[in-house]
Amino acid sequence: MRLGMVIDLKRCIGCYGCQVSCKAENGTRPGTTYARLIKREWGTFPDVQRLSIPLLCNHCSEPPCVDVCPTGASQKQESDGIVFVDGDVCVGCRACVMACPYGARYYQDREHTYFDSEGPNEYETTRYLEHVRGVVEKCDFCRHRLAEGLDPACVTNCMSKARIFGDLDDPDSEVSRLVREEGGFPLTPEAGTEPNVFYLPPDRPPTNDRQVTP
């Protein structure tokens, strides 16, 4: 099994819902955004285009972040290809942060809280316990949710239904079909990382079938 995600740039409305749904699911500290978004603009007025591009870990098939890790804390899970960090092993050397071409890894230089001078609030006191201090953290495709049979939080929540999750090794899965039929492409393929997150072009032709929202 090779778990992967498809992000449909035609659907995505740049709402940042994924950034916050990930934050809410994983209870991460300030500055840590496993799911984030960048914006691009090109052209000249009035022929100008802007694009919102959601990012997360690509769970690369050839993950440089795993290669450079001196401790083995960064691993690629055999069974499903999920790349994750074992917070009990990581020493916080950040070599993996430098190795990842996608900015998918986060390290806290100190224990930031959102209302800084006030210290952690009730929510933060509870949720930050889930995190080990002084290590690198990243998206793990919400392994704890997958274990419960749920999709990742950012997928379940996306209000434009722009994120689709599944097994890329299964040619019949929705993700495989979309990548195949709708021109799915990875980010920065020249880095040789073989990402497992694919993007569908923002300007592809219509499907013309009248879908009815479930």
Partner 1 sequence: MSSPDTLDIRRRDLRSEFRPQREWIDGRGLLIVVAHFFSGIGAGAWLFSVWLDIEAGMVLGLVCVAILSGIAHLLFLGRFERFWRMLKRPHKSWISRGIWGIGIFSVGALGTLGAPPAWRDTMVAVSLFGCAIILLYEGFVYAASKGIPFWSTKLLPVLYITYGLRGGAALLLILAAAGSTAFDVHAMEAIKLWVVVSTGVLVLLYLTTASRSGGAARHSVRQLVAGRLSPAFYGGTVVVGILVPIALAAAREFGATGLFLLAAIGVSSLIGDFYVKYCVVKAGTYVTLSGAGLGTNANEPTRSRRFREAG
Partner 2 sequence: MIENQAQEDVWIPSACSMCYNQCGILAHRKEGTLVKIEGNPDSPYGRGRLCARGLAGIQMLYDPHRVDRPLRRTNPVKGIGVDPEWEEISWDEALDLVTAKLAEVREEDPRQLFFSGTVVSLSPLMHMLGTFLPAYGTPNAFVSDGHQCGNAEHILARTLHASVTTNPDARYCDYLLLFGCQAGLGTYYALTTMAQDVADARVRGMKLVVVDPYLSQAAEKADEWVPIRPGSDGAMACAMLNLLVNEYGMYDAEYIGHHTDGPYLVGEDGRYVRDADGKPLVWDTGPGAARPFDAAGRPTESAALTGCYSVDGKRCKPVFQRLKEQVAKWTPEEAEKVSTVPAERIRHIAREFGEAARIGQTIEIEGHELPHRPAAALYFKGAHGHDNAWPTSLAIELLNEVVGASNVPGGLMGTNPVCFGHPETGFPRWNPTAGAEGLLEAGALLHNDIDGPTPGWPPPPESAELPNLRDLIGWPITTCFTPAALNDDENFGGAVRPKMLINYGSNLLMSAARPETCFEAFKDCFVVCSSLFSDETAEALADIVLPDASYLERLDPVPNFARHHHPVGLGDWGHQIRQPAVEPLHERRHFCEVLLEIERRLGINEVANLMTNFAYGIPPEFALEPDEEYSWEEISDRIYKGWFGSERGLAWFQKNGVLSWPKQVEEVYWKPFSEARAPLYNEWLVRYGEDVRRIAHEKGMSGIDTKGFLPLPDWFPCQAHKPVPGFDLQAIYYRVPWHTFSMTYENPWLDEISRGEPYSYYVCINAATARAKGIHDEDPIVIEGTDGARIEGRARLTEGVHPEVVAIANNGGHWARGMPLAKGTGVFFNQLQKMDLEHTDLVSLSMDCDARVRVYPAEGG
Residue ranges binding ligand SF4 (CB under 6 A)? 7, 12-18, 21-22, 25-26, 34-35, 37, 52, 54, 56-60, 63-65, 68-71, 73-74, 83, 85, 90-96, 100, 102, 104-105, 135-136, 138-142, 152-154, 158, 160, 162-163, 193
Question: Which of ligand SF4, partner 1, partner 2, none binds 112 (CB below 5-8 Å, type-dependent)?
Answer: partner 1
Between 20 and 191, CB nearer to partner 1: 191
Question: Which of ligand SF4, partner 1, partner 2, none binds 79 (CB below 5-8 Å, type-dependent)?
Answer: none
Tokens encoding 135: 């290590």
- For 157-214, the three-class secondary structure string (H helix, E strand, C coil) is HCCCCCEEEEECCCCCCHHHHHHHHCCCECCCHHHCCCCCEEEECCCCCCCCCCCCCC
Q: How far is the C-alpha of 62 from the C-alpha of 53, rounded, in Å? A: 22
C-beta atoms surrounding 165 within 10 Å: 20
Cα-Cα-Cα-Cα dihedral sign, residues 46, 52, 60, 191: positive
Between 136 and 151, CB nearer to partner 1: 136
Question: Shortest gap between Cβ of 80 and partner 2 (angstroms)?
Answer: 24
> Applying CB under 8 A, does 13 fall inside the site for partner 2?
yes
